[in-house]
């Protein structure tokens, strides 16, 4: 029997951002506690970081915990915070060896001092790495980020008529990071949930029914292939279309 040839990846998004959704449903389907789903989600994340390095994606951003996630039951919030701390303890040395540079997006203040320290240590240790820039949105909300940016601009005394899109961009948590080319949301939900709302204005969005713990290198490969079929216009027209006469 003829084996189907694997489709080649021709276009790799420079920056992939992911809303990792579906851990709870993954656990429920297996009669497991929700925390088991979040732990399985951590394994998925480890695989996806490796896959991004293999595919030569340069920026990966994940939505780990939103400013709204504090409304979840206390036990789950505590469990998630423990997972994030353990993750940083366990994974950072290896991420550092792999050349991953870690960033935090969001407000640190509400995090426990221990978690703030772990995050800061991870950022300091990996700051010179350049294989993959990995940003963890933790206690992050896009609307809060814009409010934060405006407050900073006001504090700096920048005159109103000097404020433009670039000024806002420079005051977002992502000031040093390019906008995402592709945003993936797993689990079939079709919302943006306050994730990178400024930065994703012209991103390609991909919604997949796969639950986050089942999202693997093959799924990422398919997402990248799908991205390669999209024609990005940034509100204008593609190069080919520019050549055609405009009929309005
Ligand atoms: C959504 O599942 C996922 C989260 C709330 C984010 C937490 C993600 C992880 C623990 C993965 C690993 C990340 C790090 C940084 C170690 P959900 O609970 O909303 O799922 P549901 O919609 O099926 O209930």
Decide if 129 is inside a domain: yes
Which pLDDT does position 248 carry in this prediction?
Answer: 42
Mean pLDDT rounded to a whole number for the chain: 95
Task: Kindly state the tokens that stand for 207.
Answer: 């919604």
* pLDDT band at residue 238 using 50, 70 and 90 as cut-offs: low
Q: What is the pLDDT of residue 232?
A: 78
By most ligand atoms within 8 Å of CB, the mutation choice from 17, 19, 22, 23 for ligand 1 is: 23
Burial of 64 (0-12, 13-18, 19+ CB in 10 A): buried
Atom of ligand 1 nearest to the CA of 25: 23
Residues 55/34, Cβ–Cβ less than 8 Å: no
The reply to whether 32 falls in a domain is: yes
Domain assignment present for 126:
yes
- Determine the Cα angle at 133 with ends 85 and 214, to 5°: 65
DSSP structural state of residue 63: E
pLDDT at 142 over 60: yes
Do 213 and 40 form a contact (C-beta atoms < 8 A)?
Answer: yes
Confidence of residue 10 (pLDDT cuts 50, 70, 90): very high
- Is 184 among the domain residues? yes
Whether residue 242 is contained in a domain is answered as no
Indicate the number of domains in the chain.
1
Give the pLDDT confidence score for residue 231 in this predicted structure: 84
pLDDT at position 192 over 60: yes
Query: What is the CA 31 to chain-centroid distance, rounded?
Result: 28
Q: In whole angstroms, what is the distance from residue 208 CA to residue 129 CA?
A: 31
- Ligand 1: list residues with CB < 6 Å: 20-25, 38, 41-42, 45, 64, 69, 80, 83-84, 87, 136, 187
At 151-186, the pLDDT tens digits run 999 999 999 999 999 999 999 999 999 999 999 999
Residue 3 lies in a domain: no
What span, in angstroms and rounded, lies between the C-alpha atoms of 186 and 208? 5
Whether the CA torsion 236, 223, 40, 116 is positive or negative: it is negative
Given a cut of 50, whether residue 78 has pLDDT beyond it is yes
Is the pLDDT score of 38 beyond 50?
yes
Q: Is 21 a catalytic residue?
A: yes
Q: Would you call 96 a catalytic residue per the annotation? A: no
Gap from CA of 144 to ligand 1 centroid (Å): 20
Mean pLDDT, to the nearest integer, of 220-240?
Answer: 85
CA distance 113 to 111: 6
Contact criterion met (CB below 8 Å) for 65 and 115 = no
* 117 within domain boundaries: yes
pLDDT for the residue 53: 98
Domain range for 61 is 15-142+179-228
Q: Which pairs with CB-CB distance under 8 Å and at least 24 residues apart come from 229-236?
A: 230/204, 232/181, 232/202, 232/204, 234/202, 235/202
Q: Is residue 193 part of a domain?
A: yes
pLDDT tops 90 at residue 199: yes
Alpha helices per DSSP H over the chain: 23-29, 34-55, 74-97, 113-126, 142-155, 165-170, 217-229, 239-243
Say what the pLDDT of residue 124 is: 98
As a whole number, mean pLDDT of residues 81-106 equals 98
pLDDT at 37: 98
**207: domain CATH number?**
3.40.1180.10
Q: Report the chain's terminal Cα–Cα distance, integer Å.
A: 50
pLDDT at 246: 46
């Amino acid at each position: 029997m003829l084996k189907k040839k694997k489709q080649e990846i021709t276009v790799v998004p420079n920056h992939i951002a992911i809303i990792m959704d579906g851990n709870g449903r993954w656990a429920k389907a297996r009669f497991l506690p929700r925390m088991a789903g979040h732990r399985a989600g951590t394994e998925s994340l480890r695989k996806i970081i490796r896959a991004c390095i293999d595919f030569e994606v340069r920026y990966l951003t994940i939505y780990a915990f939103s400013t709204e996630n504090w409304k979840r039951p206390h036990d789950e919030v505590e469990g998630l915070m423990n997972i994030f701390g353990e993750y940083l303890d366990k994974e950072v040395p290896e991420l550092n060896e792999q050349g991953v540079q870690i960033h935090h997006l969001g407000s640190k203040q509400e995090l426990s001092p221990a978690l703030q320290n772990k995050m800061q240590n991870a950022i300091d240790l990996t700051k010179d790495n350049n294989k993959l820039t990995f940003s963890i949105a933790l206690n992050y909300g896009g609307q809060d980020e814009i409010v934060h940016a405006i407050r900073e601009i006001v504090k700096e005394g920048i005159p109103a008529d000097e404020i433009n899109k670039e000024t806002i961009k420079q005051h977002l948590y992502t000031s040093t990071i390019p906008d995402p080319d592709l945003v993936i949301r797993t689990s079939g939900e079709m919302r943006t949930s306050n994730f990178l709302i400024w930065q994703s204005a012209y991103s390609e969005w991909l919604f997949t029914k796969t639950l986050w713990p089942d999202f693997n290198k093959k799924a990422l490969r398919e997402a990248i292939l799908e991205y390669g079929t999209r024609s990005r216009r940034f509100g204008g027209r593609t190069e080919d279309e520019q050549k055609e006469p405009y009929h309005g």
